[in-house]
Amino acid sequence: MKKILSLFSGAGGIDIGFKSNTFETYAAIDNWQVACDTLKENKISKNVICSNIKDIDFSKFKGKVDCIVGGPPCPPYSKSRFYIKEKKRALEDEDSYTLVYFCKALKIVKPKVFFFENVHGFFFKPHKPALDFFESECKKIGYNLSYKVINCADYGVPQIRQRFICVGSLKEYGTFKFPDNTHENRKKLDLFSGNKKEWINCKEAIGDLDVPLPEDKDNLAGSKHKHLLKLIPPGENYLFFTKERGHPNPEFKWRSRYWSFLLKLSPKEPSWTIQASFSNNMGPFHWKNRFLRISEIKRIQTFPDKYKLLGDFKDQWRLVGNAVPPLLAKVISKEIKKQLF
């Protein structure tokens, strides 16, 4: 059984996916106690280390793991940094040290393969110094790199979630090739789509979980704009109430809020991206004008129903929202095993 060293493990999404292809997590590292307790509760690894990445002695893993996996915290490369110019970006951000230490782990441990995940923004031009640094460091160590921005919906995840994925392999083992997508937007399916299936929609993913609960009557979804949320059609957001969309009584200016403001799911489409921070007015919201439940966002992120999350509601939301969908990790790790081991 091949062994992985899991960095920034969070809820363990990558680990679950790799485990399905007979990879064993030799050690899992995170600096958030709730995440570490969740990893222990679900027996992700016998060796869960709750520590800042700066304090890890990577030399003790040399020769003991075949693969390093992880996604350094994404705020320095987030889409919001692209628009909010007063905030530091990429390598200028104080949290960018996590990328440096991911590279340090590769340099010291030098596993045969690594799997790296981050937000789509990691590929944006303003963040190019971070990508250039990462690519340069990996090549110095001796890795061939294969990277691209992936839409998780294209691989069976019921969520439009674009993520930067990089697989590195030591030069003597060749270069990884990403698998063809298995699913596609039904609007693009045609005679040349082969065996590709339609994207998994929200009703297919979470429809059976939609049962009335007592707390629904106290629902504050939308906060002070909850009366507007009820009027927004499924699949739309606050832009529905703009002059540009032809609304007779505009409530908002065009592109004056974040995309997820009052964003409502459509049962006929995949979910929009589940984010790490829970909010009263930032979606996605259920098409029945309520907050999504933890059981529902777990499904959308493809976590097993029985997977236990610790902490309070916001902790659990953060755990799931920050995670790599286990199904995506399963698809990629299957190809890693096939091509590189």
Residues 181-216 pLDDT 10s: 999 998 888 766 788 999 999 999 999 999 988 877
- Asked which of 8-12, 89-93, 151-155, 273-277 is least confident by mean pLDDT, the reply is 89-93
* DSSP annotation of 176: -
pLDDT for the residue numbered 70 = 98
pLDDT for the residue numbered 194 = 80
Half-sphere exposure of 99 (CA within 13 A, CB side): 27
> Which residue, chain included where needed, has tokens 């045969």?
112
Segment 241-264 mean pLDDT: 95
Residue 275: band (very low, low, confident or very high) from pLDDT cuts 50, 70, 90? very high
For residue 211, is it left (φ>0), alpha (ψ between -120 and 50) or beta? beta
Residue 229: band (very low, low, confident or very high) from pLDDT cuts 50, 70, 90? very high
Q: How far apart are CA 277 and CA 75, in angstroms?
A: 12
Distances (CA, A) of 54 to 11, 12, 14, 150: 20, 20, 21, 29
Tens of pLDDT, residue by residue over 98-137, are: 999 999 999 999 999 999 999 988 888 777 888 999 999 9
Segment 51-62 mean pLDDT: 97
Segment 276-289 mean pLDDT: 94
Segment 311-340 mean pLDDT: 98
- Which domains occur in the chain, in start order? 2-183+325-340 (3.40.50.150), 202-322 (3.90.120)
Residue 155 backbone dihedrals phi, psi, to 5 degrees: -120, 25
pLDDT for the residue numbered 140 = 97
Residue closest to 111 by CA, chosen among 340, 295, 287, 324? 340
For the chain, give the percent of residues with pLDDT over 70. 93
152 is catalytic: no
Residues in the chain, total: 341
Report whether 162 contacts 150 (CB < 8 A). Answer: yes
pTM of the model: 0.94
Active-site residue, selected from the candidate residues 36, 50, 67, 74: 74
Tens of pLDDT, residue by residue over 59-109, are: 999 999 999 999 988 556 555 545 555 565 555 656 678 999 999 999 999
- Residue 49 pLDDT > 80, yes or no? yes
Residue closest to 175 by CA, chosen among 7, 52, 339, 10? 339
Q: How far apart are CA 228 and CA 249, in angstroms?
A: 12
Residue 326: band (very low, low, confident or very high) from pLDDT cuts 50, 70, 90? very high
